[in-house]
Amino acid sequence: MFEKIFYEKDAFSNPRTQYVLNKFKGIPHVEISKIEDIFGRVKKPYLQKRTNLNLFIGEKKGQLVKETPNAYGLSGDPHYYFIHSYNCIYECDYCYLQGYFHSPDLVFFINHEEIIEEMRQIIKKNGSHKTSWFHAGEYSDSLALSHITGELPLYFDFFRDLKSAKLELRTKSANIKELKSLRPSKNIIVSFSLSPKEQIKDHDLKTPPLETRLKAMETLDKLGHPIALHLDPIIFCDDFKSQYEEMLESLFKYISPERIEYISLGVVRFTKDVYNQMKKNYPSSKVHQSELIKSFDGKVRYMRPMRLWMLQTIKNICLLYGVKEEKLYLCMEE
């Protein structure tokens, strides 16, 4: 999987670093002083992730838990994301990571205890009358490599007894190996991003097929793990409505609408930089088949009437299947 593994000298003795180094014994390990000395110093083309991917292991410095932008999660509660990893083994053609870092190399941060300490302070500051939400998976997929990074038990132990905090693990993977061995907790929600199977094939390169993700959701649901859904990013195609009808019909065969905690809907959107990168990296992506404009917040999107039609169409299908309206929310929309 990796060409080389770079590890920070100070992180070497950490059991998490040792576990990863032992797991990948056969490839060169290189000791470094700080990740920032090498990672992203020289711009590495995004698509080199296909042939030349390195891994960095170290400690994240600075702020580890940050407030999310507005309209990120269910409204009314404070939302935060935390940074425990950079980059991803998958290759969705719309992924914003392609314009975000100067390198597609993976970074694992191992100082989870410090992340948890920041969370503890935030929960204390917000008080018990508010639910503080913490989202994993902002700069990476939160489950894809969880069997290697090994941090989930720590977060489960921390969140399990908290009444005023929730953890969301966002994923496009079906890697539920770790979760299967953890006792579910009502406030730890595994949220799956789904698209119709044709769209997964067109856009979500290297991710597990729809059926595999649905089976993973079903398994976790049966084990008692709370499940949520992100229908995001929604991308237009000719048979848009029938593709979503078919996907949601399959979904609700695996998991009943009442068992889903919430469903977020978000139409594909890009910052200017990511959009330019995407045009360069994926010039024949079907995203380019519809007109995109600079919208209310400077991001590149479909025109407003089209976005509203797409969101309403999917919302109506969900309502027809019995999803309660209060469980549906729009992500990053006006």
Binding site for ligand SF4 (CB under 6 A): 88, 90-92, 95, 97, 140-141, 172
Closer to ligand SF4 by CB, 106 or 123: give it.
106
Least distance (Å) between residue 178 CB and ligand SF4? 17
- What the block records as the tokens of 199 is 């769209």
How far is CA 247 from each of CA 30, 40, 51, 199, 213, rounded to the nearest angstrom? 45, 38, 33, 11, 12
Closer to ligand SF4 by CB, 91 or 151: give it.
91
Closer to ligand SF4 by CB, 95 or 136: give it.
95
Least distance (Å) between residue 201 CB and ligand SF4? 14
Q: Which residue's structure tokens are 């993700």?
A: 213
Closer to ligand SF4 by CB, 92 or 248: give it.
92
Least distance (Å) between residue 31 CB and ligand SF4? 28
Closer to ligand SF4 by CB, 86 or 155: give it.
86
Q: Is 232 helix (H, G, I), strand (E, B) or coil?
A: strand
Alpha helices in 27-139 (DSSP H): 112-126
Least distance (Å) between residue 62 CB and ligand SF4? 21
> Which residue pairs from 298-302 have beta carbons closer than 8 angstroms and sit at least 24 positions apart in sequence?
298/271, 298/272, 299/269, 299/270, 299/271, 299/272, 300/269, 300/270, 300/271, 300/272, 300/275, 301/267, 301/268, 301/269, 301/270, 302/236, 302/267, 302/268
Residue pair 149/118 in contact (Cβ under 8 Å)? The answer is no
Least distance (Å) between residue 266 CB and ligand SF4? 12
Closer to ligand SF4 by CB, 94 or 134: give it.
94
- What the block records as the tokens of 185 is 């907790």
The letter for the amino acid at 139 is Y
Closer to ligand SF4 by CB, 88 or 216: give it.
88
Residue pair 327/261 in contact (Cβ under 8 Å)? The answer is yes
Provide φ and ψ at 106, rounded to 5°: -85, 145
Least distance (Å) between residue 77 CB and ligand SF4? 23
Least distance (Å) between residue 166 CB and ligand SF4? 21
